[in-house]
Structure 1
């Protein structure tokens, strides 16, 4: 028996003596089968599992991670390497913060390139447990270790890193994540390609990177009809969802460019997807979802082209949907149109005051947070046009705060320019808040 193995068992046996436990008593307290515990402690045909070590540590009142530095010989020796045991060990080390043990194991096993699969497996387990920070470290090790640029494992590691990096609203960080992952999107396993392209499109949409959104939208249409004609391919959602999102993004880009008739064409296309085959129950649900979005966006196009008569009908429709996401998108369109054509929409804003008060709940979602930011900017312009200057300054400061948090530099500049235009009307408190937001210090 090797010294380290003896040391691990010596520590356990020493604590048994200190507490006066025999094998049967320790087995009962730890929940470990007495025979298994006996064989593990004696090193006879059975190694100790990391869960058993945790259970023993709990009995002895030790903190999680107790004796982990002595456990590696249960997984690695000159004769063998236990992959399942190593994966479980690395996951537990990450969970309890034993980074020293991780470093020691990684330096040993990466002498052989095939062992990088162990690191990847540990990363995947942590990712699906929601331990993103811990998983990120392992994915970065994989990215550094894999030399084959067409490796699916390398592509998947980049995809996971992209998913982790883009969970917040930091625009600068999100754009860097897009640039890093983009070259690997078509090297993923086929089951993951559609959702990966969708996530790229979604992030770029939140960043207003319209050329990139247009490219990914085209890929969504193509992939959803070609790749998913193969029965063995199973993306996260029904293929019709990705096809519809490709059209929806194209409609949004056309709207952004002022091409309202083209946008309407795309809207009508994604609002009528019953022809898509095959359609099971989940596919039918997606078709209905796009019908709902299509109706809302037809209202949007009417409002954006100056149809004031339809505003109250549009508001009724938004209220019937009773979804905060739809309300913020709809109000943005209504108030932007009011600013462009000189409409008064105070009644609509009053009607949705309860929903508006909840827009801060979007913090964390890049698209919805951006919609909240745009609402505050449009609302500031609207207030100034209605000669409600204090209200306009208040909304400008709200928008500025959101833009700074999200590192949206262009929006930050617009807010600063707008505030400066009305600066002479600002109260002392507003000036303090403005200086704090801009330079990080009070007047």
Structure 2
């Protein structure tokens, strides 16, 4: 086994092999010759800026020596924050996450750096360096796991939001792990945390849990409003939105939950309530943005609930609303498809009318969280396949169903996987060989996924 080389020995070997003088390499690298000499002799530590210049001078890729640098400066010797901070920042910029992980595992023994690591994580998050930020948040959380600090709770909140992705099973695990920390957050931050948690459960279709969190959001916002005398302006507040938005949104969540449970009268009641709550006196420019959003949701959902209560006369007005609000095309089409499937209505003309906008909206899905976007897309595919199958358009209906099943498998949405399989079995006798083959391939993927999970359990044992 070859002995481990140091950065200094690498520099010295490079200069010798290239036949350079120390002064010449100093000129091409941009590092002072005296500084370079002291670095090679080991009498002066290498700063990050100098390391990057030397690496460039040696015609190596950026970050080439970071692994060795991390070991020399922070593992084999006592780390100093003045050198550690720029190292972690540069690793984040170059996506050298392994280097970050190795170093922070070593520095966790020194609890004096916990505050600095947390602040750096916040800085990285602002710069959208999410993977690196999450590593630091996890490090801080591990250091403070026996504390009951707000910082610990905030770390878990950040980890929760950074954990959310396409796998709905993993999203559920993240939600369950984070929930106990909500009440340790600052009262204002609790509002955003509850909202984010409710949105996650909404995408997972845990309707009772969504309603419970919506009620909690409503009560906590009401309490904050009761003793917040000052204008809750953006420069001084911790919440992302003005306070009135949270009470209005809590009732929007309640109405959505009632809708999914078939309680349309209750859904209308909560719609009227959030419509009133979203009206504020002397609104500023920011307030006006949310007032208009809730006005659109109020109109759209009022049409929807009346449709689902069996009033088809409202459909022309709903269509006119969609024409004026193209960003609401996809959720509106889902609603109209659900109504058509429930009451056996023919909506071919409406689907044709908005086909271009539907395709465009699927590509964008603006204004919704990532989890809600995925759930909405799959719901649309499912409802459209059911509509086509109900109208005996078996080939296209089953193609849409296979698309829906494939997307459900990708995000590990077990409820929709089961639903798609049940529908397919019902219409299996109409499937052509192409559809049957596609179905088998998708189900093989499902079996592989569960085989991996079973194997991992045996390995743990």
TM norm structure 1: 0.85
1:237 aligned counterpart, secondary structure = coil
Partner residue of 1:365 out of 357, 370, 374: 370
1:377 aligned counterpart, secondary structure = helix
- In the other structure, the counterpart of 1:332 is 334
Partner residue of 1:269 out of 268, 273, 286: 273
Task: Answer with 232-241 or 338-347: which moved more.
Answer: 232-241
Contact map agreement 1:8 1:67 (CA 8 A) in 2: yes
Deviation at 1:401, TM superposition (A): 1.4
Deviation at 1:223, TM superposition (A): 3.2
Task: Answer with 115-124 or 38-47: which moved more.
Answer: 38-47
- In the other structure, the counterpart of 2:326 is 322
Task: Answer with 185-194 or 252-261: which moved more.
Answer: 185-194
The count of residues paired between Structure 1 and Structure 2 equals 432
Q: Aligned partners of 1:96, 1:342: CA distance in 2, in Å?
A: 56
- In the other structure, the counterpart of 2:383 is 378
Contact map agreement 1:93 1:99 (CA 8 A) in 2: yes
Distance change (3 Å), C-alpha of 1:425 and 1:226: same
Deviation at 1:249, TM superposition (A): 0.2
Q: Aligned partners of 1:193, 1:84: CA distance in 2, in Å?
A: 34
Q: Aligned partners of 1:290, 1:43: CA distance in 2, in Å?
A: 68
- In the other structure, the counterpart of 2:137 is 139
Q: Aligned partners of 1:100, 1:321: CA distance in 2, in Å?
A: 47
2:238 aligned counterpart, secondary structure = coil
Distance change (3 Å), C-alpha of 1:106 and 1:367: closer
Q: Aligned partners of 2:427, 2:407: CA distance in 1, in Å?
A: 20
Task: Answer with 380-389 or 416-425: which moved more.
Answer: 380-389
- In the other structure, the counterpart of 2:414 is 409
Deviation at 1:314, TM superposition (A): 0.9
- In the other structure, the counterpart of 1:90 is 88
1:176 aligned counterpart, secondary structure = helix
- In the other structure, the counterpart of 1:200 is 197
1:156 aligned counterpart, secondary structure = helix
- In the other structure, the counterpart of 2:434 is 429
Q: Aligned partners of 1:53, 1:254: CA distance in 2, in Å?
A: 60
Distance change (3 Å), C-alpha of 1:287 and 1:8: same
Residues 100-129 of structure 1, C-alpha deviations (whole Å, 9 max, x = no match)? 754664354333323333443443343333
- In the other structure, the counterpart of 2:214 is 217
Distance change (3 Å), C-alpha of 1:89 and 1:211: same
Partner residue of 2:114 out of 104, 116, 130: 116
Q: Aligned partners of 2:244, 2:97: CA distance in 1, in Å?
A: 44
Q: Aligned partners of 1:263, 1:242: CA distance in 2, in Å?
A: 18
Partner residue of 2:349 out of 322, 347, 350: 347
Distance change (3 Å), C-alpha of 1:262 and 1:66: same
* Structure 2 residue 307 is matched with structure 1 residue 303: yes
Q: Aligned partners of 1:40, 1:236: CA distance in 2, in Å?
A: 51
Q: Aligned partners of 1:226, 1:260: CA distance in 2, in Å?
A: 29
Deviation at 1:334, TM superposition (A): 0.7
Alignment of 1:225-304 (within 5 A): 225-227=222-224, 229=228, 232-273=236-277, 275-276=279-280, 279-304=283-308
Q: Aligned partners of 2:358, 2:97: CA distance in 1, in Å?
A: 45
Deviation at 1:398, TM superposition (A): 1.9
- In the other structure, the counterpart of 1:49 is 47
TM norm structure 2: 0.82
1:63 aligned counterpart, secondary structure = coil
Q: Aligned partners of 1:64, 1:199: CA distance in 2, in Å?
A: 38
Alpha-carbon RMSD across the aligned residues, in angstroms, is 3.4
2:140 aligned counterpart, secondary structure = helix
Distance change (3 Å), C-alpha of 1:148 and 1:114: farther
Q: Aligned partners of 2:440, 2:138: CA distance in 1, in Å?
A: 39
Contact map agreement 1:227 1:233 (CA 8 A) in 2: no
Contact map agreement 2:114 2:143 (CA 8 A) in 1: yes
Contact map agreement 1:40 1:48 (CA 8 A) in 2: no
Partner residue of 1:172 out of 169, 172, 185: 169
Deviation at 1:77, TM superposition (A): 9.6
Alignment of 1:6-45 (within 5 A): 12=11, 18=18, 20=20, 26=26, 41=39
Task: Answer with 363-372 or 392-401: which moved more.
Answer: 363-372
Q: Aligned partners of 2:190, 2:315: CA distance in 1, in Å?
A: 40
Q: Aligned partners of 1:42, 1:397: CA distance in 2, in Å?
A: 64
2:55 aligned counterpart, secondary structure = helix
Distance change (3 Å), C-alpha of 1:57 and 1:401: same
Distance change (3 Å), C-alpha of 1:340 and 1:24: same
Q: Aligned partners of 2:79, 2:362: CA distance in 1, in Å?
A: 51
Deviation at 1:263, TM superposition (A): 1.4
- In the other structure, the counterpart of 1:127 is 125
Contact map agreement 1:221 1:242 (CA 8 A) in 2: yes
